[in-house]
Structure 1
Amino acid sequence: MALPSLVHSICAAIIIVSLALSLTGVLTLANEQYQRRPEAGNRPIKGYVQVAKLLVYGATAILVIAALMDQSPLLLLSGLGAMAAVLMLVFKDTILSLVASVQITSNDMIRVGDWIEMPKLDANGDVIDIALHTVKVQNFDKTITTIPTHRLITDSFRNWRGMSESGGRRIMRSLMIDQNSVRFLGDADIGQLSRFAVFRAYLDDRQGRISAWNRRHAGSDGLNARRLTNIGTFRAYVLAYLRSLPSIAEDKTMLVRQLEPGEHGLPLQIYAFASTTVWARYEDIQADIFDHLIAIMPEFGLRLFQRPTGLDLMGLVTHGSDVCSSGRPEAAVQQKDPVGA
């Protein structure tokens, strides 16, 4: 190749590269300007910009090679058909990521700022960047987890955006009640529980209905009479207590229900929504509720169920020693606390 032709080819290649860099710079500037718009968090275009840049780089490579060889670009393009399989293999991840980006954006699956949870990849935090190939998640311990974009389509993940937008966060936790402590309430018990103003009206109304029913149906037969139970009364108290708290959302579902009893006791589940989504405040609200409920349970004659501890075993050893020393096993039986005490 003659020197003038070589210089001409190099200059043409430099011009092509300069134009390509200018075009990619325009694309970058357009993306930066778009990110300042309010809807940028909901509809990011960074993935599409990266695809456009890849196309520009590919076209630039073809044009530069054609300019240096002093040949028409169509000759190079005609040979790409035979290389289609190779290109599909090389750009497999890019193609998958492009399709995933389109689906994520069109279906509004994630946005920058969303709290997502993906246990398979140890991701649990806020989305800080959505690109063509990767989505970056800043975990709550300030580590960064990089998720391939196509994994958000093929694998399941949890997006907490709905919780954040609702203005409340769910509380769903159970108290494990020792079933041996469940019993009927006597008149003295009801009189003691009437001191709690939060559900005094409930007790009066309930007791009035039961008394009226007993007069009509049970008569003098105490065996067939209806009576209040401590577990049912405690359930009513918990519900009334939750309704009295300003930190619990009144416009959302609020339940206090019994689950199926098992080997760990009778689960009494509290299902409600805190009136905030701030994590620290939510944990404080939840802890305050269960602090109060655990402390007040003995007023209803109820006990929490828990596995035997060293103190329980020490008590068994002590009772066993009393039996051996006195020779009267019935005395030790009388002194022994009820199961679960």
Structure 2
Amino acid sequence: MNFNKHFLYNYLQELGLSINTSKYLNLFILLILFLIVIYAIDIITRKVFQSISVRISKTSKTNFDDILLANKLPTNIAHLVPVLLFFELIPILFYDFEYLKNLITKSFQIISIILAIKIVRSILNSVKDFLKTLPRFKDKPIDSYIQVFMIFAWFSALILSFAIITNQSILAFFTALGAASAIIILIFKDTILGFVASIQVSVNDMVRIGDWITFEKFGADGDVIEISLATVKVQNFDKTITTIPTYALISDSFKNWRGMVNSQGRRIKRALNIKMESIKHLSNEDIDKLKSIQLIEAYLTMRQEKINSYNNEQNINKELLLNGRNLTNIGVFRKYAQTYIEMHPAINKDMTIMVRQLAPTTNGLPLEIYAFSADKKWKNYEYIIADIFDHLLASIQYFDLEIFELPTNLNFKS
């Protein structure tokens, strides 16, 4: 230590400073000089590390080193060099100032911990960005896992900093933490709930990045673009962004359309409301007229023969259409709609195709079309539905049926 002291005094004399100058002035001048030197070393170290990193990234085949460079890992590592150097020089600079030496030593120990955290964060962010470039990890909530690791890292840094500042053991920190646990739980309630929810969402595979979800409570209807510890971001189809708390995914009900996207078709489920006054039995003349419709010509011929045969065998009086077995215009139209949809080129023939009647309502008799379009893209899906119902709405008049409509002002006037 005496050698260091005389060395510094001799260096001051060479700079023209008297050794009788106040020791505080000597300290201040030395501190300024060393800070300048440390800053210069920091600049040089950063440039050297960046230069080496750029050369390595250009020659390597993998893009992971490029990602490390983009996340400033070489820069954060370079900052450690001047910090550690200054840390070694603290006993020399402050040999006559014990209190300042202890204070600055603790400060630089904490700075070293913060730099270590920044290095860890750069590595984790690089791992996250690299995994997102791999197809099998694109839909995984990697951000949540990274945030969990960072929480543990910052928590560990907080414990070490507390131990350094107070000269207390880590056990004392946990004792104080237990006493304040109720306050901590209250402050970090959303974070804790988000942490638990992230684990459950990931384990149960409830939501992935890229999934189309509908969450009416939060007005979300679009694709999941980010899953983090506290929030899930959904880009709606109108390009707005809706932020949903992660824990809401396990506490509330929402719809995930992944099953539809992964299936072989997208469901069509829509009804025509038939005016019940227009439903009637068909006479043989009506049936012969409808035979001109090619899609149901064979069906009508076959059904007419069976019905006439049954009625003749049972000696049914057909002067009244109600007697015996009969075809109805709604039944024939239902068969026509079924045949038309089964032959439609945009419908998946391997999935359910059904035209069914629902319970009558005050708005008429619903005739529901239930099928699956082969094309699942929204725009094409809507076009297929419109094409089917355009045809059916235009065809219904040939069966002497009418679509139910509420009366308008024109009806009341007439």
The TM-score by the shorter chain falls in which range?
A: 0.7 to 0.9
Q: 1: CA distance between counterparts of 2:283 and 2:351?
A: 35
Residue aligning to 1:173? 270
Q: 2: CA distance between counterparts of 1:231 and 1:77?
A: 77
Q: 1: CA distance between counterparts of 2:199 and 2:110?
A: 34
Residue aligning to 1:150? 247
Q: Which structure has greater helix proportion? A: 2
**Preserved contact between residue 351 and residue 372 of structure 2 (Cα < 8 Å):** yes
**SS at structure 2 position matched to 1:76:** helix
Residue aligning to 2:212? 115
> Residue 308 of structure 1 aligns to which amino acid in structure 2?
P
Structure 1 residues 4 and 220 mapped into 2: Cα distance closer, same or farther (>3 Å)?
Answer: closer
Report the Cα offset of residue 244 of structure 1: 0.9
Residue aligning to 1:20? 117
Residue aligning to 2:380? 281
1:225 to 319, 324, 339: 324
Q: Describe the superposition over 1:226-248 as per-residue Cα deviations: whole angstroms up to 9, x where unpaired.
A: 22111110110000000110111
Report the Cα offset of residue 92 of structure 1: 1.3
**Preserved contact between residue 213 and residue 254 of structure 2 (Cα < 8 Å):** yes
RCO higher in structure (CA 8 A, sep ≥6): 1
**Preserved contact between residue 194 and residue 247 of structure 2 (Cα < 8 Å):** yes
**SS at structure 1 position matched to 2:243:** strand
Give matches, 1:321-332, under 5 Å. Answer: none
Residue aligning to 1:265? 364
Deviates more, 1:51-60 or 1:102-111: 51-60
> Residue 176 of structure 1 aligns to which amino acid in structure 2?
N
Q: 2: CA distance between counterparts of 1:178 and 1:192?
A: 22
Give matches, 1:2-81, under 5 Å. Answer: 2-81=99-178
**Preserved contact between residue 208 and residue 224 of structure 2 (Cα < 8 Å):** yes
Q: 2: CA distance between counterparts of 1:218 and 1:263?
A: 38
Structure 1 residues 215 and 63 mapped into 2: Cα distance closer, same or farther (>3 Å)?
Answer: same
> Residue 277 of structure 1 aligns to which amino acid in structure 2?
K
Q: CA RMSD in A?
A: 1.6
Residue aligning to 1:131? 228
Report the Cα offset of residue 253 of structure 1: 1.1
Report the Cα offset of residue 48 of structure 1: 1.8
Residue aligning to 2:402? 303
Report the Cα offset of residue 20 of structure 1: 1.4
Q: Describe the superposition over 1:250-288 as per-residue Cα deviations: whole angstroms up to 9, x where unpaired.
A: 111111111111221111111111111111111111111
**Preserved contact between residue 141 and residue 226 of structure 2 (Cα < 8 Å):** no
> Residue 409 of structure 2 aligns to which amino acid in structure 1?
G
> Residue 203 of structure 1 aligns to which amino acid in structure 2?
L
**SS at structure 1 position matched to 2:178:** coil
Q: 2: CA distance between counterparts of 1:225 and 1:64?
A: 94
> Residue 311 of structure 1 aligns to which amino acid in structure 2?
L
Report the Cα offset of residue 118 of structure 1: 0.8
Q: Describe the superposition over 1:162-188 as per-residue Cα deviations: whole angstroms up to 9, x where unpaired.
A: 111113111111111111111111222
Report the Cα offset of residue 71 of structure 1: 4.2
**Preserved contact between residue 112 and residue 127 of structure 1 (Cα < 8 Å):** yes
> Residue 351 of structure 2 aligns to which amino acid in structure 1?
K
**SS at structure 1 position matched to 2:288:** helix
1:236 equivalent in alignment to 2:338: no
Q: 2: CA distance between counterparts of 1:219 and 1:79?
A: 96
Q: 2: CA distance between counterparts of 1:3 and 1:303?
A: 95
Q: 2: CA distance between counterparts of 1:222 and 1:250?
A: 42
**Preserved contact between residue 10 and residue 67 of structure 1 (Cα < 8 Å):** no
Give matches, 1:191-202, under 5 Å. Answer: 191-202=288-299
Residue aligning to 1:91? 188
> Residue 279 of structure 2 aligns to which amino acid in structure 1?
V
Q: TM-score, normalised by structure 2?
A: 0.73
Q: Which runs of 5+ in 1 are unaligned?
A: 316-341
Q: 2: CA distance between counterparts of 1:9 and 1:300?
A: 92
Q: Describe the superposition over 1:93-148 as per-residue Cα deviations: whole angstroms up to 9, x where unpaired.
A: 11111111111001110111111011111111110100000000011111100000
**Preserved contact between residue 248 and residue 275 of structure 1 (Cα < 8 Å):** yes
Deviates more, 1:155-164 or 1:56-65: 56-65
**Preserved contact between residue 97 and residue 133 of structure 1 (Cα < 8 Å):** yes
Between Structure 1 and Structure 2, how many residues are aligned?
315
2:390 to 276, 291, 297: 291
Q: 1: CA distance between counterparts of 2:113 and 2:287?
A: 91
Q: 1: CA distance between counterparts of 2:367 and 2:318?
A: 32
Q: 2: CA distance between counterparts of 1:73 and 1:205?
A: 90
1:187 to 260, 276, 284: 284
**Preserved contact between residue 115 and residue 159 of structure 1 (Cα < 8 Å):** yes
Identity of aligned residues (%): 45
**Preserved contact between residue 139 and residue 210 of structure 2 (Cα < 8 Å):** no
Report the Cα offset of residue 83 of structure 1: 1.6
Q: 2: CA distance between counterparts of 1:187 and 1:300?
A: 14
Deviates more, 1:50-59 or 1:104-113: 50-59
Report the Cα offset of residue 220 of structure 1: 5.2
**Preserved contact between residue 359 and residue 365 of structure 2 (Cα < 8 Å):** yes
Q: Describe the superposition over 1:298-327 as per-residue Cα deviations: whole angstroms up to 9, x where unpaired.
A: 110101111111221222xxxxxxxxxxxx
